[in-house]
Amino acid sequence: MQRKIAIVACIVAMIGVGLGAFGSHILGEQIGEDALKTFQTGIQYHFIHALSMLIVSIAMGVWGESRRLTWAAWLFFAGIVMFSGSLYLLSTTGLKIFGPITPLGGVAFIAGWILLALSMGKRKLT
């Protein structure tokens, strides 16, 4: 599972780079300033949590795999899809229907961080 999470984290980060470039070079001219800020918030959280998935995969290599670490990684992934994805859709389409999805992604991020913290509390940090 460690390698799978690391690979997915790298793919998710790569997608974030592409979306960031799209937002900076193409989208900025097409949508308003507020919508662009919303898109950039999605990019910011996207990258933070792609790197968080990578950190979890490294932690799995150091401490061994556990259900908490596995869940933390997949919750970060789900958060990227729901939180960042909904912000991307909201900013590019203007459809407010995507707004209620964003907090669900935020909850997934928080749950992932809680599980990562609980995993750290159970391990000897050497």
Please write the tens of the pLDDT for every residue from 67-114. 999 999 999 999 999 999 999 999 999 899 999 999 999 999 999 999
Tell whether 81 is covered by a domain: yes
Domain count, the chain: 1
Residues contacting residue 33 through CB under 8 Å, at least 6 positions apart: none
Tell whether 63 is covered by a domain: yes
Tell whether 126 is covered by a domain: no
Between 48 and 23, name the one with better pLDDT: 48
The boundaries of the domain holding residue 81 are 2-120
Q: Please report the pLDDT score of residue 124 as a whole number.
A: 61
With beta carbons less than 8 A apart as the criterion, state whether 57 and 3 touch: yes
Tell whether 125 is covered by a domain: no
Q: Please report the pLDDT score of residue 125 as a whole number.
A: 53
| DSSP code of residue 126 | -
Please tell me whether residue 75 adopts helix, strand or coil conformation: helix
Confidence of residue 30 (pLDDT cuts 50, 70, 90): confident
How many Å apart are CA 46 and CA 48, to the nearest integer? 6
For tokens 């989208």, the residue is 27
Tell whether 30 is covered by a domain: yes
Tell whether 9 is covered by a domain: yes
Q: Please report the pLDDT score of residue 25 as a whole number.
A: 85
pLDDT score of 123 more than 70:
no
Distances 12 to 32, 59, 66 between C-alpha atoms, Å? 26, 18, 22
